[in-house]
Amino acid sequence: MSALGALSGGAAGVAGLLNLRRRAAPPPSGLASSPHLPPLKCTVVPDAGQLVWGRQLRPALLPAALLPAQPARRHTLRPPAAAAEEAKPAGFLDKYPALVTGFFFFMWYFLNVIFNILNKKIYNYFPYPYFVSLIHLVVGVIYCLISWSVGLPKRAPINSTLLKLLFPVALCHALGHVTSNVSFAAVAVSFAHTIKALEPFFNAAATQFILGQQVPLSLWLSLAPVVIGVSMASLTELSFNWTGFINAMISNISFTYRSIYSKKAMTDMDSTNVYAYISIISLIVCIPPALIFEGPKLMQHGFSDAIAKVGLQKFVTDLFLVGLFYHLYNQLATNTLERVAPLTHAVGNVLKRVFVIGFSIIVFGNRITTQTGIGTTIAIAGVAMYSYIKAKIEEEKRKKSA
């Protein structure tokens, strides 16, 4: 499916055509034998079609002195392309890069907060996380197909080799996405995000024991507050149940393996196209469990109960918007990472989780105990410390390799 450029080879024969010999017609005898004329200097008439010797149109030879003077051609001097580009005024994106980056962060946070709030509101009247997870991906895939159709971005080609590399990534993405939503449906959003703060711990463990790469002691020490904080929050969380806790932990493990397989599946494809293909494969993976675990219940009373509570229009609108927000916030997170250093993105990711937890408590009025609040704060502080240390280590590695 790769696009190939078409090359023309006709220019190679042009040089041969320029080597054809011409025989000049003999000049009139009167001109050649006149004793009063200077020696002849002959030249080719520029426009052979304007002279007729006998009945034949052909290039003719005339004395240079007898040829009419040719008007001099004017040559317009044009500035080189580089100078023309320098003359162009700088656009808004180039003039204010900090404002553009700030806008990306704002939209990333805003869409993430809106997604989490709307997602939880849907679960309050439609508790079917497998189906809702499927809808997230359906809307995202439709968005990708429309974007490809208008060339924003241009669809990157894919083959069987790339599919084999991306399938494990998409499988882990699908499993992590579904189990995250099962956790969101079962417990408070703030508590689910507190548990998901343990994801760096699983990343470090996988790096050390699965990939065989040494994790610095400073990183392990920074993870201690994360584990302690999550444990404190879990012990006194009012919405705690094992379904939400276990699925959040499975989500952490799934996303950890997604990171591992993503490193093995590094390609030259841009991040937007990679995420689009992962979404398509994940959608196919999520269809069977949604039909098996929730299909019969949905057909019996799931859809009818939700429509009876909020109406058909609101039900469909909520599902569409939550899927759109899910896709856009993930895409913006990727685009933001491309604009800033890894350290800035890591800190931004921690602050995003703080925003989500804080806004969810305010919107839903979740009651939390003092111990849960302290534990959540300690866990988030530990994640911030871990992200900072890890980003600094990665930055030093890049400087040494440069």
Residue with the two structure tokens 């509101």: 121
How far is 282 from 136, CA to CA, in rounded Å?
11
Q: Which two tokens stand for residue 155?
A: 């669809």
Structure tokens belonging to residue 218: 């400073």
Q: What are the mean pLDDT values of the chain's consecutive 10-residue runs (402 residues total)? A: 38 37 45 48 44 44 52 52 51 75 89 94 96 97 95 90 92 96 94 88 87 87 91 85 94 90 77 90 96 95 96 97 94 80 73 86 86 91 88 84 77
**Tokens 């703030």 belong to residue:** 190
- pLDDT at 93 (0 to 100): 64
Amino acid at 192: A
Task: Say how far apart CA 247 and CA 354 lie, in whole Å.
Answer: 21
CB 255 within 8 A of CB 206: no
Residue closest to 239 by CA, chosen among 195, 199, 293, 200: 195
pLDDT at 239: 83
Task: Write out the H or E segment, with its range, that includes residue 323.
Answer: helix 312-339
DSSP at 361: H
Sequence-ordered alpha helix ranges (H) in 129-241: 129-149, 160-186, 189-196, 199-209, 217-236
Taking every pair of C-alpha atoms in the chain, what is the biggest distance, in angstroms? 124
| pLDDT on residue 166 | 93
253: helix, coil or strand?
A: helix
- 3-class secondary structure, 177: helix
pTM of the entire predicted model: 0.71
> Is 117 strand, coil or helix?
helix
CA distances from 235 to 167, 192, 311, 362 (A): 37, 14, 38, 22
